[in-house]
């Protein structure tokens, strides 16, 4: 296992490029299951991440040969009959559930291990199941697997609203089943995230007929088959926002290139409210930070609201605010694993139900902390960059699931972050600075 050792207090300066979005690339890769034997789907700007490789392995089990050349990934369907997504792979990555919709749509059957809960919450899949059942799919949980028989798949009206809003991967699954269902499907209360839009655009590029992209009402005219195509993965809005946060806490002057500011209205607005200067163009954002922030009251919401995946990183910024900030988590009520770790670094945060009340401090101090999930870890990295002295973040494999070469890229901006292997006998080997 690796850990990060961060020497805080280094000002970030310069330019950085954002990679393709993991959460867009994963369902786009899964969409290859909608193709016929012999067809190919080619995706550009695919980030090189553990989760992407896990999806590649899963697709391999499902008859799709996945190859990679730099940032280009090719999915070649060599056998369009397998339908089983096994537990050994699904347990590693919840997003494996994205294969359910396309298997049902094209192969008319699926047996997908049901993902369990995870550290950020219970994370049920009832909306996925309800949506597919509305399309005439017989679906039931048997011995830990969701088993689906889609011989009667038909376009119908599907309502995808849940207690915490619409579901991102639930919408993607229903959409991928609906594109090959006979007749018209109306998805009401669809998730509007850019990653859902990107999938819908890809599907239309493969010959699907989806209207209303980007809105909560998607209309799908079923077609009899799709064809291979080439497409690019959209930039990662959460990675871009994480760099913004790192620039902010280090009094940095950073240009973030190859991003989509139009996908980041809520994070940009929260920076404006905090008094952090930003400027943006079509595909770039500049952050000019003085290091002093006004307190902010924000609530995570489905897109275009403030993203839950940027909550921990923004909390690290607000830990250094000049007053009391409130962050309310409306997507994952339990997503506060970073709070006790941030308090180890001197942050003053009180969790109150689904809210965190943050009394800004003048300075954080380096400490040993534990990464618990991808975004919590990113929040700790941001805090570590601002803290006085050294911060050690254990279990950074969480970060590797969603950020490619994070330490090297931050070092290119002037940070001091090194990855260190933690050997079983507790002796540490320095790998890179």
Question: Alpha-carbon distance 56 to 63, whole Å?
Answer: 11
Q: Segment 217-236, which members bind ligand EPU (CB under 6 A)? A: none
Mark residues 52-91: x for contact with ligand EPU by CB under 6 A, - for none.
----------------------------------------
Residue 97 CB, nearest distance to ligand EPU (Å)? 7
List 19, 169, 229, 328, residue binding ligand EPU (CB under 6 A): 169
**Catalytic residue of the set 118, 189, 192, 411:** 118
List 102, 170, 228, 360, residue binding ligand EPU (CB under 6 A): 170
Contact region with ligand EPU (CB under 6 A), list: 121-129, 144-152, 342-350, 417-425: 121-129
Question: Alpha-carbon distance 357 to 315, whole Å?
Answer: 10
162 counts as binding ligand EPU under rule CB under 6 A: yes
Residue 160 CB, nearest distance to ligand EPU (Å)? 9
- Please give the size of the binding site for ligand EPU, defined by CB under 6 A: 26
List 32, 167, 242, 313, residue binding ligand EPU (CB under 6 A): 167
- DSSP 8-state class, residue 121: B
Mark residues 177-216: x for contact with ligand EPU by CB under 6 A, - for none.
--------------x---x---------------------
Tokens linked to 88: 């050994």
168 counts as binding ligand EPU under rule CB under 6 A: yes
Count the Cβ atoms, other than its own, within 10 Å of residue 7.
18
CA angle 203, 74, 204 (to 5 degrees): 10
Residue 161 CB, nearest distance to ligand EPU (Å)? 10
Residue 203 CB, nearest distance to ligand EPU (Å)? 16
List 88, 126, 211, 431, residue binding ligand EPU (CB under 6 A): 126
- Give the 3-state secondary structure of residue 336: coil
Whether the Cβ atoms of residue 14 and residue 254 lie closer than 8 Å to each other: yes
Contact region with ligand EPU (CB under 6 A), list: 41-49, 118-126, 175-183, 263-271: 118-126
Contact region with ligand EPU (CB under 6 A), list: 165-173, 277-285, 313-321, 406-414: 165-173
Q: Segment 353-392, which members bind ligand EPU (CB under 6 A)? A: 374-375
124 counts as binding ligand EPU under rule CB under 6 A: yes
List 331, 347, 369, 376, residue binding ligand EPU (CB under 6 A): 331
Count the Cβ atoms, other than its own, within 10 Å of residue 189.
19
118 noted as active-site residue = yes
Closest to ligand EPU by CB, 170 or 346: 170
Give the bridge partners for 356, in sequence order. Answer: 327, 351
Question: Alpha-carbon distance 207 to 339, whole Å?
Answer: 46
Closest to ligand EPU by CB, 309 or 392: 309
Q: CA dihedral in degrees (368, 370, 374, 375; nearest 10)?
A: -60
- List contacts with ligand EPU (CB under 6 A): 23, 26, 95, 121, 123-128, 162-164, 167-170, 191, 195, 308-309, 331-332, 374-375, 402
Q: Which residues are catalytic?
A: 118
């Amino acid at each position: 296992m690796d850990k990060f050792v961060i020497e805080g207090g280094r000002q970030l300066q310069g330019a950085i490029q954002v990679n393709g979005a993991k959460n867009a690339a994963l369902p786009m890769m899964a969409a290859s299951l909608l193709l016929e034997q012999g067809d190919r789907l080619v995706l550009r700007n695919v980030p090189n991440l553990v989760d992407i490789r896990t999806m590649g392995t899963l697709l391999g089990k499902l008859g799709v040969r996945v190859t990679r050349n730099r940032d280009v990934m090719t999915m070649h369907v060599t056998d369009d009959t397998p339908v089983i997504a096994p537990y050994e792979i699904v347990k590693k990555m919840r997003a494996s559930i994205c294969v359910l919709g396309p298997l049902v749509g094209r192969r008319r059957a699926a047996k997908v291990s049901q993902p369990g809960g995870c550290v950020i919450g219970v994370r049920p899949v009832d909306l996925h199941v309800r949506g597919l059942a509305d399309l005439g799919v017989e679906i039931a949980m048997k011995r830990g697997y969701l088993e689906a028989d889609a011989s009667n798949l038909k376009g119908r009206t599907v309502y995808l609203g849940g207690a915490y809003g619409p579901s991102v991967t639930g919408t993607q699954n229903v959409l991928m089943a609906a594109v090959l269902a006979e007749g018209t499907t109306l998805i009401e209360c669809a998730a509007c995230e850019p990653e859902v839009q990107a999938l819908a655009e890809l599907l239309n590029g493969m010959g699907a007929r989806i209207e209303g992209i980007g809105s909560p009402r998607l209309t799908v005219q079923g077609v009899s088959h799709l064809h291979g195509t080439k497409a690019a993965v959209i930039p990662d809005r959460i990675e871009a926002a994480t760099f913004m946060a790192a620039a902010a806490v280090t009094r940095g002057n950073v240009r973030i290139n190859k991003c989509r500011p139009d996908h980041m209205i809520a994070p940009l607005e929260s920076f404006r409210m905090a008094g952090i200067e930003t400027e943006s163009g079509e595909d770039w954002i500049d952050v000019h930070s003085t290091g002093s922030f006004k307190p902010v009251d924000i609530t995570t919401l489905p897109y275009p609201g403030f993203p839950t995946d940027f909550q921990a990183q923004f909390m690290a910024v607000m830990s250094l605010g000049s007053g009391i900030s409130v962050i309310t988590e409306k997507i994952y009520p339990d997503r506060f694993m970073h709070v006790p770790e941030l308090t180890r670094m001197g942050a003053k945060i009180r969790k109150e139900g689904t809210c965190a009340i943050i009394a800004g401090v003048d300075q954080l101090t380096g400490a040993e902390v534990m990464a618990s999930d991808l975004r919590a870890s990113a929040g700790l990295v941001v805090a570590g960059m601002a803290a006085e002295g050294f911060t050690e973040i254990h279990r950074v494999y969480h970060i590797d699931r969603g950020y490619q070469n994070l330490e090297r890229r931050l070092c290119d901006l002037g940070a001091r972050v090194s990855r260190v292997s933690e050997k079983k006998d507790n002796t540490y080997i320095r790998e890179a600075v």
